[in-house]
Every structure is written in C-alpha cells, then in structure tokens.
Amino acid sequence: MGPLEGIRILEIAGIGPGPFCGMMLADMGAEILRVDKKNIPGLSGKFDVLGRGRRSVTVDLKKPEGVEAVLRLAERADVLMEGYRPGVMERLGLGPEVCRARNPRLVYARMTGWGQYGPLAHAAGHDMNYIAISGALHAIGRAGERPVPPINLVGDFGGGGLLQAYGIVCALLERQRSGQGQVIDTAMTDGAALLMTMMYGFKAAGMWKDSPESNLLDGAAHFYDTYACKDGRHIAIGSIEPQFYALLLEKTGLKDDPEFRNQMNQRQWPALKAKLQAVFLTRTRDEWTEIMEGTDVTDLARAGGGLDAIEPLRCKHGLLDGKAVPPQVLATRNIALDTKFMA
C-alpha cells in the first residue's frame, strides 16, 4: 500500500539514477515492470537493492517482435522510464511520439546526463562530469586541494533519479486535469545545478566565495565541520544557530573563552578551529558522542562510520531495529524511502 498504488510503470532497464528513481516509486506503491536486455551483467537477487519492488521481463529490442511487445506494454502503462542517450529510443522505434500515439495518457520520462539537445547531448559522461560543469564539484573540498568526488550522490541520485521521480509524480498529477501524458526530460547536469540554487543566490548577493572551504557551509566555519578525535575517528559538528553554538561551547568546555564570543567573525574561524581541534583530540569519538548525544549540539555527532556497519544511532530515525547491521544483511532488507504518510 502507498500513495502510488495502481500506477503502472514500464522501466527500460538502465544503471544508477534510473533504478534509483524506480526504487523510490516502487517504495511508494507503484507497480513496476522492468524490461531487461539479454546478457547484461550486474547485481542480482538480494544484492540488487536499487532493483527492489519490480517484476522483470527480458526482451530483445533489436528484433521487431521485441519492440512490438514493449509497445503493447506501453499501451497499458501510466509511465515509461528510459535512460539511453538521445535518439536511441527513437532508432529502436520506441520514441515518445510512437509510444504516446499508442497511449496519449502515457508519461514518458527520459533521463540523460546533458539533456536531449545541445553540443554535449550525445557525449558520454558520468556523475563526476555533470557536477563539474554545474559548479557543484568545485564547491566541495578543502582549501588548496583538489575537489572531492561526493560519490555519485549529487549528479546521479540527487540531480537525476530524485528529480525524475518528482517530475513523474508532477506529470501524473497534471494528467488528472488534462487527461494527457507528457514527456519528462531530466538532465543530470541541470539537476546538479538546481541543487546549487541556494549557493548561486548567496554568490549573487556577495555572500559566497568561489574558493572551497571559505564559506559558512563548506567547512570554513569552526562550528560546521568535522574534527579528528583521540582514537583517529571523527565527529561531525553543525551548530549554526546561536543557541546550538552556545551548547557546543558548553559541552567542549570553551564557554568562558572570550575568543569564541563572536561566532560569525570569519577572520577568527581558522584560529578557533585549531582550538576546537585540540579539544576534540582529548577524547575518543564515542566519548564525545556520549557527551553530546541527546542535546541540540547535534543529534548524530558521529562521522566516518563507514559502510562496514549501520550504526545504532541511525536506527533512532526508524530505519532499522537498533542494532548494527552489516551491508550484506542490509541488502536483503526492504528499507523503504523514509517518508511517512499519515491519514
């Protein structure tokens, strides 16, 4: 049961952002049939977490009867999702015009890196390329060092899969008024730029510098960064608001240090960071977590837990059952999208 119950989605199999989009829609109750190509290697079974919640069928799209089979499925679908380069679906005989001629109510959702048009439309690319050209990659990293790839969260999943899921649901809502489907064109470069909207606004207002680690939210501030602890592990601190900043100083024993009184004096941030770092090196990460847990300094102070275990603190948010869970077990669990719908 879910808000998308009764919605039928035909997913032309792909990798990364497409399956992620489908996973979220399936978690919300959509019925998804994935069209797989023959002899395509990849994760399967319990380890294909992004592919959960689907049935699948293998079709040879190079044969006319395979194309016709997909068109018949599209006639009964609410949504078709595809992630090929521009023009591939058209060459297969499965472009939006053909599919929507069979089913005018069909929402045809396509996702690419660069968009359907423009000089880079047919170029190969990956998350790293999309977030680089959008400016997002440049903004992530330490001063004087090269940008840090934020795995494929920003381009593929945030700017691609998540944005496409939003577009699909919006199109389905609009269809209730018009009775017609439409084409959803998601470009991961555009999506990554969209995620940078607030920073673009800050820069236009003179509140954001181009150099990394020189702004409020990119690690420059002593109250919004990660710190090494005595055991070599790290703690994440996010105490922006004055009341939370006061708690940070209290818990670290620095509330009476006059140098910390002017929180937003950026010229003092490097020196204050050094002082905080020295304090955090006096205790282990777990000791600091025990001191700060349950206060508004931070609800989840730990950083650097890695993928070797899902830590018990995260279970407080309803994702797991209060025990550390290794990834091979996590992959078998149906951890649904953590959005709660209440009557």
Judge contact between 209 and 215, C-beta under 8 A: yes
Judge contact between 12 and 69, C-beta under 8 A: no
Residues in CB range of 71: below 8 A, 6 or more apart: 93, 94, 98, 99, 102
Please pick, among 27, 78, 127, 156, the residue that the annotation labels catalytic.
156
How many other C-beta atoms are found inside a 10 Å radius of the C-beta of residue 177?
Answer: 7
Which amino acid, residue 110?
A: R
Nearest-CA neighbor of 325 among 337, 315, 334?
315
Q: Quickly list DSSP for 15-71.
A: STHHHHHHHHHHHTT-EEEEEEPTT-----GGG-GGGTTEEEEE--TTSHHHHHHHH
Tell me how far apart the alpha carbons of residues 332 and 203 are, in angstroms, rounded to a whole number: 44
Tokens 């380069």 locate to: 85
Judge whether 126 counts as a catalytic residue.
yes
- Map residue 175 onto helix, strand or coil: helix
Ordered alpha helix ranges (H), 54-206: 64-75, 88-92, 96-102, 127-134, 163-178, 188-195, 197-204
Tell me how far apart the alpha carbons of residues 223 and 215 are, in angstroms, rounded to a whole number: 12
Q: Residue 256 burial (CB < 10 Å; 0-12/13-18/19+)?
A: exposed
Tokens 């068109």 locate to: 71
Tokens 């977030």 locate to: 131
Please pick, among 48, 122, 126, 138, the residue that the annotation labels catalytic.
126
Rounded to whole angstroms, the maximal C-alpha distance in the chain is 77
Tell me how far apart the alpha carbons of residues 339 and 341 are, in angstroms, rounded to a whole number: 7
Active-site positions read 126, 156
